[in-house]
Structure 1
Amino acid sequence: MADFKNLLLQAHEKRSPLFDVTDAYRVVNGAADGFPGLTLDKFGDRFQIQFFGPELLSQKKAVATAIADIFNPVCLVVKERLSRAGKSLENAPMEVLVGSPADSVGIVHEGPAQFNIDLLDTVNPGLFLDMRSVRLEIGKRCAGRRFLNLFSYTCSFSVHARLGGAEIATNADISGKILDKGRENFKLNGLDLRPGEFFRGNAIEYVHWAQKKGLKFDGIVLDPPSFARFKGANFNVREHLMPLVADCATILNKGGFFMVSSNYSEFNLNAFARDVRDAVASVHGNAQTAWKRSQDIDFNGSGNTKDSCLVATLVEV
């Protein structure tokens, strides 16, 4: 028990630069923080443990007790992403170890923004922690600009864009339920819902529709899942991402920016950034890479395991 407590305290201290920025961050990122096969995410005073490997599964209660003793959470949820046979689970079972299921819902802060979260959501609590620094930058780039958020999920990029003064922040996602959560995030931040800001449908469909309508944007974020299905059609990030990047570039205004990212573990950051720039340059010959990066400091050891990897790059035209 003492070892778990000390490891937690050491891991938490490493995240101290984030304390004034947000109350939502990863406290433990697997073996790099002394907890192989386990992650611990903090969402305000709510915490979620995820098991990606068997190493500490038999000590689940001891780990949970250490977390409860140090952080005194309102709610602690554990998510087992590995079956007893050692196979990855798409629909991982969840268990509330501290608090009740009703306590899983809350609000977190990130820079000037607030977001609704639910630790018992089957996909994600509502905010992907590894894109924090990008969201904060998007907010600073969007004053007076038209912004497009593809595969928008709960519209967190767009909340930052609108808080940063965007003229419009359009969200495209295949899930109406998810877009409703995006609308709730807008309302939580005191943002009015403007015409054309929520589009239910395939991101590719939206881009083609925008091309036909002559719509243009000053900033675009493209953060797709590795795989997706919509109306019988499959999206495979390895096969379809770069053609979609080139398509998106046709609706990007000169002087604009384009951020593309992926959690697909087979991508190499340098090659990914080069390929994105080249795809944008097929439309905008002056395209230049502004930056390329991986996960934030709370994702200690990022890139060493398939469950903790990110490639992201921003291109300016």
Structure 2
Amino acid sequence: MEKITVTKQAVKKLRAGYPLLVKEDLTLDIEEDRFVQFFDGQQHFLGTGYLSKQNKGVGWLLTADNIKIDHHFYVEKFVAARSLRATFFQDELTTAFRLFNGEGDGIGGVTVDFYAGYAVFSWYNAFIFAQKKAILSAFKVVFPEIIGIYEKIRFVSTDKNSVSKESSFVSGKEASEPLLVKENGVMYATYLNEGLMTGIFLDQKNVRAELVNGLAAGKTLLNMFSYTGAFSVAAAFGGSAQTTSVDLAKRSLEKTREQFLVNGIEPETQKIYVMDVFGYFNYAKKKQLSYDVIVLDPPSFARNGKKTFSVAKNYGELVASSVEILATNGLLIASTNAANVTDKKFRQMVEQALKNKGVSFTIFQEEKLPSDFHVAKEFPEGNYLKVLFINIKK
């Protein structure tokens, strides 16, 4: 295993257990895609990990111990992860959740999600993907009941021979299409081998739970950037008077209809629009429509023709547009998973937009990642989800 020396700043981080390595932490340009041992300038051992470029950083610290990263190591990590999620396996109302959350469970670069007996691996860099055989072998020891395994390739491969598809069936028995899963008693239609997404974002479990439990009961709800309409279905299940789902993707119409149907809700009783979100805001204003509850959960970055949207630059515009079609005493659920926007910055953007509109407001609840998305205390930015529940009076 190669020994490498890191910068003084990196020494401080690694000794504190901070797992992510960035390019500036390395003293030299070092060949990537390999296990390494980290040392300080006096050649004191700091830990064992690996180097491999990905969307964030160039590598991960895996352990402060001087050990080999092998089958036994992976088994230990999966055993600990399973133990943390024991209550989820016993919950008959929820059959989809995160089994293994990357660096939060001790192996940065790979996550595993559970869908009603099936496992979906997501690989975030080439080197951890190259350890697939050993990792899957350890996983099957700890989770022998898994029916089948799928994978998502979430990195750009330079070797076109080794990675051919972004989504693949790996082993075991293939899942039905759709595969119906439950969350808080609500059914969701998922597809484990349809690109990088499955039909539901599991990290929003707690927000959907609030809607299922009646947060929008008897109220109208507008779900912007609705994807497959999961927030809308949760709200309808929880007694919403009517939901309106808006998303630019053409597939959203069919997918959202399906989510209502699997819950015995006639799609015709709800409203589903395939159109640009800002275009819908304008449409709603012209038609003098208003909503009691508005959910804003945009992608971190999106492009529509020549127009671009990013949470960091444009989220305030969404908030301002929402206020204009919100009922006199309305509720805004403002959400983002943008890792480049801190909790403080997100709250400031939302609050400033509301102040600019001259409304009174109260942020009465905040949500972060649910407990199955286990976050390492040494890596708080791993808790990327930010959700604000805001009462607004106009």
Q: CA deviation at 1:54?
A: 4.2
2:183 partner amino acid: E
Q: CA deviation at 1:109?
A: 0.3
In structure 1, the residue matched to 2:259 is 185
2:263 partner amino acid: N
Q: Structure with the greater relative contact order (CA < 8 A, sep ≥ 6): 1 or 2?
A: 1
Q: 1:308 to 1:288 in 2, by over 3 A?
A: closer
Q: CA deviation at 1:72?
A: 2.8
Q: CA deviation at 1:83?
A: 3.7
* 3-state SS of 1:290 partner: strand
Map of 1:229-248 to 2, 5 A cutoff? 229-248=303-322
Q: Which moved more, 1:265-274 or 1:160-169?
A: 265-274
Q: CA deviation at 1:207?
A: 1.0
Match of 1:250 among 324, 328, 337: 324
* 3-state SS of 1:56 partner: helix
- How many angstroms apart in 1 are the aligned matches of 2:354 and 2:239? 25
Map of 1:51-130 to 2, 5 A cutoff? 51-69=123-141, 70-85=143-158, 93-99=166-172, 103=176, 105-130=178-203
Match of 1:311 among 386, 389, 394: 386
1:35 maps onto 2:121 in alignment: no
Q: Is the CA contact 2:320–2:357 (under 8 Å) kept in the aligned structure 1?
A: yes
In structure 1, the residue matched to 2:239 is 165
- How many angstroms apart in 2 are the aligned matches of 1:207 and 1:246? 10
Map of 1:147-158 to 2, 5 A cutoff? 147-158=221-232
In structure 1, the residue matched to 2:79 is 9
Match of 2:118 among 29, 46, 57: 46
1:198 maps onto 2:266 in alignment: no
What TM-score do the two structures reach when normalised by structure 2?
0.73
- How many angstroms apart in 2 are the aligned matches of 1:272 and 1:228? 18
Q: CA deviation at 1:5?
A: 2.8
* 3-state SS of 2:390 partner: strand
- How many angstroms apart in 1 are the aligned matches of 2:220 and 2:289? 10
- How many angstroms apart in 2 are the aligned matches of 1:307 and 1:165? 34
* 3-state SS of 2:375 partner: coil
Map Cα deviations across residues 34-88 of structure 1 (whole Å, 9 max, x no partner). 22211111111111111113453232012222333424322211222224459xx
Q: CA deviation at 1:305?
A: 8.7
The aligned length equals 313
Q: CA deviation at 1:102?
A: 5.6
* 3-state SS of 2:360 partner: coil
- How many angstroms apart in 2 are the aligned matches of 1:194 and 1:224? 25
Q: CA deviation at 1:195?
A: 5.5
* 3-state SS of 2:268 partner: coil
Map Cα deviations across residues 135-167 of structure 1 (whole Å, 9 max, x no partner). 111232111100000000010000010011111
Q: Which moved more, 1:105-114 or 1:54-63?
A: 54-63
Q: Is the CA contact 1:150–1:172 (under 8 Å) kept in the aligned structure 2?
A: yes
Match of 1:132 among 180, 205, 227: 205
Q: 1:284 to 1:216 in 2, by over 3 A?
A: farther
- How many angstroms apart in 1 are the aligned matches of 2:203 and 2:233? 17
Q: Give the unaligned 5+ runs of structure 1.
A: none
Map Cα deviations across residues 152-191 of structure 1 (whole Å, 9 max, x no partner). 0010000010011111110000112122111001000011
Q: Give the unaligned 5+ runs of structure 2.
A: 1-70
- How many angstroms apart in 2 are the aligned matches of 1:235 and 1:126? 22
Q: 1:8 to 1:163 in 2, by over 3 A?
A: same
- How many angstroms apart in 2 are the aligned matches of 1:111 and 1:195? 22
Max radius of gyration: which structure? 2
Equivalent pairs: percent with the same residue?
Answer: 28
2:387 partner amino acid: A
Q: Is the CA contact 1:218–1:252 (under 8 Å) kept in the aligned structure 2?
A: yes
- How many angstroms apart in 2 are the aligned matches of 1:171 and 1:109? 21
Q: 1:37 to 1:308 in 2, by over 3 A?
A: farther
RMSD: 2.4
What TM-score do the two structures reach when normalised by structure 1?
0.90
Q: Which moved more, 1:302-311 or 1:47-56?
A: 302-311
- How many angstroms apart in 2 are the aligned matches of 1:134 and 1:207? 23
- How many angstroms apart in 1 are the aligned matches of 2:168 and 2:268? 39
Q: CA deviation at 1:269?
A: 0.7
* 3-state SS of 1:209 partner: helix
Q: Which moved more, 1:233-242 or 1:66-75?
A: 66-75
Q: 1:307 to 1:184 in 2, by over 3 A?
A: farther
* 3-state SS of 2:189 partner: strand
